Structure 1
């Protein structure tokens, strides 16, 4: 779907992906129509313009008020300097209509005369009788369009692609594949029923009675009631809610100022999210008593809160805290009980049960994961406010990529499985997500590492580096790359898995990660051409797709399939190599894409070095007479010790020869031999943990669990 184009006022023009038809969406009223807006037709024809005036409106997604100019059709979050409450044209009750906001599910009311919208039921408004309902016109289905970085606060609805064509999960038909809102499945979360069944007779009120400071009233500290201390208060507290040491109690008061500042319960010159980052920056490494305090403060401020906007923001704050750190074990069940009691609370709006359910399902999740390392990015915070997901780009070795949605609680291991499922891979075990820098340094993500925590880390590094080097300086950048980590055998029926293995193997061959002869490289290049272009067109026919010079390498395009070390400086030599590739290619006619991939893999699997992960290390056993620095090459066959200069194999240990292994923060050790004689070899390396993990994975696959 193309990006929305603003055409005037609050209207944007879109193109429906399934039909190619243009449609129009109003970013304020949430209307969408196939017909060009009447009000724009009038304005473009020189019709009378409304009086220049601003009106204040409420954005359902953020809970913030924004300002709309009836003359210019501009919208802004900041109160205009010339803002004055607009005089509303007279309108009757019949001019109001009820609508459902697609992003929040709430009912709001829209006046067809004044163009106002309100969450409150207009005085005298009566819902039209179902028996008198006018026939509905066929309109495009509405879905939410993500808000762009602009001054317009209201997201625009757009028609869904009713008959959108499905792209191949193997990435063959499209460079990009858009993620859907349910990319990160909630299946990994426990159900509300399962969680609430474990609450038993625990209540938040009993927690308040046991742990809150109830003696807090007046000169003699008379005791307040549980109901009063745990309900909304439109003034600052004078002491912490929980029994805290003096130093933490003072921090608790500042935390409450930020809680009420974000919720709008007190005036503040600071941006709302500024209060959030202030809370998180002080609590990320704080003792759990202070973290419990902020959860209790939020519960207090959303409980019996008469203001809908304040309540929305309070629940947003609850979700944000649950994305960053867990409550203590003593508060976990009482906090769950508090949220469970709000599942049927619609006094403050339909959104309360939705936020409560979302929170309930994340409480045990964050409790298992523990606190994160980094403060969420602005993008993540905005998504959390809506209980929504964040889209991340996942790259592949052939420069293709997919867009996948994830959330604050998704780990790398879960995400690996998700991407594999999205691609149609049967067994996700061999594949992993890597962090790859612009300096070509890579690191496999730890299984329990949270994706969005890493994104926050990248952003912080970028900010710090720009601050040190200056805005225009080149800084290190990072990306996620999904590729093969463990070179297990993949079933021939797993087409997506075979494609990933082939992509990894062909990339490694062309990049000369494996030593191979010129003839090997030519044969493999011919298989790549067959895989990519299909059968040879026949004698005398030209390959238009392969003509010319590649702009990146400066070599003929066919040379891209050859190992880089065989690139020749002379044109004659290059043409000779190309002719040899074409000659071999002609003999492969009849090979399907899958057969070409399998043949390629069969060829490289015969190499002793195939599928190796390389690690530089320093042997510590002088008796073995290894060089001072070697390369450990580990693959599914075993451990190879390679001379980094001559590429000679100095020693080979199959996994049948490996008795045991281990690692420390700066070493890897392996014990080889048999029952009668064993040799322990120490290697100095800062990659011991990853070496240990790979050896363990291969041993368990080849030899069974050990």
Structure 2
């Protein structure tokens, strides 16, 4: 076998094995199993010892195979294996001097030596050099290989070991295990040649200049080397792409380097990052080949990146791209496994792990939904970069709305789930978002019914929808186009009737009400008046005088369809609706809502979803140009749009076939016993077919379940019949009667207990009534005391006022006397002064005495006033306390009366319910007892008949035995006679012969 033969791929290996080649070692056979996760166990053998041990076992296996096949032809080389594939995978190297096979699976990191401080020449070699020494973020550091003298050159070129039989050129690390099935999509050899030309043209040293040690020097450039970080531009694409896309691929890598900040030492701003991402979207969003190339380039820049900031920017860019567009199926499988490995790696940086997890989730969503239709807006990119959410508004059919959040990767299904959580809608499988388009032309702005609702696919992006809304408004410059998102049901199913979620019922009511007001449910006058009255009751509840309500007229106009309203005078409608409304006093809003739904559900076309279509082919020729299709659980219904009129219905069993295209839908259905094909122009053909198929599936499922339940019921009934055919047992009926008697006794005891409890409650009520009367008497006495205290307070207050007025008079008199004393006139002369001195002293003494008496009186009045005020304050406190006690007593009385009335009504209701239940139960038991007695009588009569039959059968059996005995006697008698005849014949025959009778006719005997 020639040395250094390339290792074939799995298919070539299988084909070659049929011509008796040496078996593939078990340690290497895992490289060709799907899924690629099986490689992880082998790829983790990065230390030399376990790998060498495994490969020695493989070598022994190969040696045994070689000895057993010594005279067989050599291992055939696969003819379809390209040189690039062989160079990327490696080879089997068989030693001719020993005649045995030796295989080495030493990892790529083990074949290299990490130098102490290597210089990095821009390119692949220098970038890989930093994986073990600088930032071991994505995996374990590469240990030194067996050849301790080998290592990287200072310029970043590779230094390989000589090609001995115990070395392989490469070993795939675990994070690149998913790339093995894609080896043919990567152009490893072409990338190497282009890289060497680029380095030589730039005047640098050889990219793979090796420090040679021995005479044999061989260099191998592998897939692992190509998918490592490099800071220089790439000369060509990583994947095999068309020639016209190679230059674009190189430009993509330039943008990636610029986004990571490799080209410029300055920090790149947020606006520049947004522009770069938008440029990537613009070039790759519409081309799947460039998307794959972009993901391959970004994943390349995340492996063995020596700078943490560059690494984070690379993963950030990966997250941005995965959120808006998916890779192809095969690249997506490799990328998902690679991102999963990094996200759950033990040595991964925390920030990188967060970005990798976000990327993994974004990949799952984008692979399911596909690429974005429109280039994401700047605000979407900025929101994703700054980890914030954008908001938009979703409307309901009653013009209410809710605000939801979205980002670049949010789809319609995500928005529906979020909105259902906001409004607390637990069952939302039949709901979805719709695009509502309404063209407004001046005077037509207030018209109702010119909206167009277009169902949205669950995988459509919210960002694309908003972008379409904006572009549609820009296109319709002559007309005002209103576009909005509406949340409503896709279709009404029969299972909706069992849903009791209040929000589900409310949304169903709103949608049916919207369709009814638009005129989609043609009804008669009576039903229209009833439905309008129910809607008004749901809106405002019940009021005694509806005509006095300010909104009454507007409610009539709002809830009565316009087409129905013109068929009658307005006053007649108003009187009819008022009369029906006043009969709904006992109905609540929920009852009115359920009755409205029930009335519409009973219509032949009730609970329909409606589609506006245009006729293409009508074999009968009875349909107008434009019609409205209604689809529900009963079939397809046809309506004339203007004026709104019901035309025809086709039941589900009459529809033989249906289908749709992007612009049309057809039905092959039976009309009057004849099959016809109807074709209609519409863009909602898929929605029509899905709705119809869903109802057909529901009908088939219902029939299947009924058939199963019917078979189960028939089986049970057959068992019951077989049990009924058995003769009843009298003892069983007796036991049953005894059990029923016991149940009746227990029920009677329970009724007696309830009666005693009712009497006890009545006694308690009587006692509480007596206590209430006593409290009322106490309240009356307290009120009388309050009146007395109040009158005493008034008397003291009047007395205090009198004393205060007297005090004021005394004070005025005092001031007057003081003024009189101070204003005395002087003596006219000494004599007169002496003569008049005595008179003045007497007058002064007299005045002073009167003043003193006034002061004493004033003091007494003040003391009396103080005492009166104290008494007044005390009486006020007493009055307050009495008023508080009175209020408390009144409240207590009210509570007692309310509790008494409630307890009385409760007990009365419980008693009546128990009595009614007991009476019903007793009647049921009596009926059961009567039926059991009748059954017992029947059983006894049947038993008597059976006993009579048994006696007759026993007599018959006796007669049969006697006949058998007589038969046996007859048989024995016949046997005896035959034996006698035989003996007589024996004796007579010789006599006949001797007498000559035997010579005549022998047959006569």
Q: TM-score, normalised by structure 2?
A: 0.44
Match of 1:679 in 2: 675
Measured after TM superposition, the shift of residue 261 of structure 1 is 2.8
Is residue 360 of structure 1 aligned with residue 360 of structure 2?
Answer: yes
Deviations 1:588-634 (A, max 9, x none): 22322221111011122233333331332325244555445544332
Match of 1:512 in 2: 519
Match of 2:557 in 1: 559
**Distance of aligned partners of 1:486 and 1:585 in 2 relative to their CA distance in 1, 3 Å threshold:** same
CA distance in 1, matches of 2:302, 2:702: 51
Measured after TM superposition, the shift of residue 409 of structure 1 is 4.5
- Larger deviation, residues 655-664 vs 576-585: 576-585
Residues 261-660 of structure 1 correspond to what in structure 2 (within 5 A)?
Answer: 261-267=258-264, 271-288=272-289, 290-305=290-305, 307-343=307-343, 350-386=350-386, 389-413=389-413, 415-416=415-416, 419-420=419-420, 422-439=422-439, 440-462=451-473, 465=475, 469=477, 476-489=481-494, 490=496, 491=498, 493-536=500-543, 538-539=544-545, 542-543=548-549, 546=551, 556-565=554-563, 577-578=573-574, 580-612=576-608, 613-623=610-620, 625-645=622-642, 647-660=644-657
Larger radius of gyration: 2
CA distance in 1, matches of 2:175, 2:272: 37
CA distance in 2, matches of 1:410, 1:638: 35
Identify the match of residue 255 of structure 1 among 249, 252, 267: 252
Q: Secondary structure at the match of 1:257?
A: helix
CA root-mean-square deviation: 3.9
CA distance in 2, matches of 1:569, 1:664: 40
The answer to whether the 8 Å contact 1:438/1:477 transfers is yes
Is residue 214 of structure 1 aligned with residue 192 of structure 2?
Answer: yes
- Larger deviation, residues 317-326 vs 305-314: 305-314
CA distance in 2, matches of 1:392, 1:647: 35
Q: Secondary structure at the match of 1:442?
A: strand
- Larger deviation, residues 262-271 vs 327-336: 262-271
Measured after TM superposition, the shift of residue 325 of structure 1 is 2.2
Measured after TM superposition, the shift of residue 700 of structure 1 is 1.7
Measured after TM superposition, the shift of residue 519 of structure 1 is 3.7
CA distance in 2, matches of 1:308, 1:255: 22
Give ranges in structure 1 of 5+ residues lacking alignment: 1-197, 548-554
Aligned length: 490
- Larger deviation, residues 578-587 vs 440-449: 578-587
Q: TM-score, normalised by structure 1?
A: 0.61
Deviations 1:462-509 (A, max 9, x none): 5x539xx5xxx8653421101123122422523222111111122222
**Distance of aligned partners of 1:334 and 1:492 in 2 relative to their CA distance in 1, 3 Å threshold:** closer
**Distance of aligned partners of 1:228 and 1:670 in 2 relative to their CA distance in 1, 3 Å threshold:** closer
Deviations 1:521-561 (A, max 9, x none): 3322221222122232x3499546x37xxxxxxx6344322
The answer to whether the 8 Å contact 1:667/1:682 transfers is no
The answer to whether the 8 Å contact 2:227/2:303 transfers is yes
Measured after TM superposition, the shift of residue 280 of structure 1 is 0.9
Measured after TM superposition, the shift of residue 404 of structure 1 is 2.6
CA distance in 2, matches of 1:647, 1:245: 58
**Distance of aligned partners of 1:199 and 1:679 in 2 relative to their CA distance in 1, 3 Å threshold:** farther
**Distance of aligned partners of 1:505 and 1:200 in 2 relative to their CA distance in 1, 3 Å threshold:** same
Deviations 1:101-132 (A, max 9, x none): xxxxxxxxxxxxxxxxxxxxxxxxxxxxxxxx
CA distance in 2, matches of 1:206, 1:624: 60
CA distance in 2, matches of 1:227, 1:234: 16
CA distance in 2, matches of 1:497, 1:611: 14
CA distance in 2, matches of 1:640, 1:394: 30
Measured after TM superposition, the shift of residue 373 of structure 1 is 1.6
Measured after TM superposition, the shift of residue 434 of structure 1 is 0.7
Match of 1:139 in 2: none
Write 1 or 2 for the structure with the bigger share of helix. 2
CA distance in 1, matches of 2:384, 2:482: 25
CA distance in 2, matches of 1:702, 1:651: 21
CA distance in 1, matches of 2:384, 2:278: 13
Match of 1:145 in 2: none
Q: Secondary structure at the match of 1:639?
A: strand
The answer to whether the 8 Å contact 1:209/1:226 transfers is no
Deviations 1:237-264 (A, max 9, x none): 3333334443211101211222233333
**Distance of aligned partners of 1:275 and 1:425 in 2 relative to their CA distance in 1, 3 Å threshold:** same
Match of 2:178 in 1: 202
Measured after TM superposition, the shift of residue 445 of structure 1 is 1.0
CA distance in 2, matches of 1:364, 1:692: 29
CA distance in 2, matches of 1:492, 1:244: 55
Q: Secondary structure at the match of 2:607?
A: coil
Give ranges in structure 2 of 5+ residues lacking alignment: 1-173, 209-220, 440-450, 704-1005
Write 1 or 2 for the structure with the bigger share of strand. 1
CA distance in 2, matches of 1:557, 1:623: 42
- Larger deviation, residues 273-282 vs 633-642: 633-642
Q: Secondary structure at the match of 1:271?
A: helix
Q: Secondary structure at the match of 2:584?
A: coil
Q: Secondary structure at the match of 2:577?
A: helix
CA distance in 2, matches of 1:257, 1:352: 22
CA distance in 1, matches of 2:259, 2:458: 35
Measured after TM superposition, the shift of residue 460 of structure 1 is 4.2
The answer to whether the 8 Å contact 1:409/1:450 transfers is yes
Deviations 1:394-413 (A, max 9, x none): 21011112223345445435
CA distance in 2, matches of 1:203, 1:326: 17
The answer to whether the 8 Å contact 1:655/1:699 transfers is yes
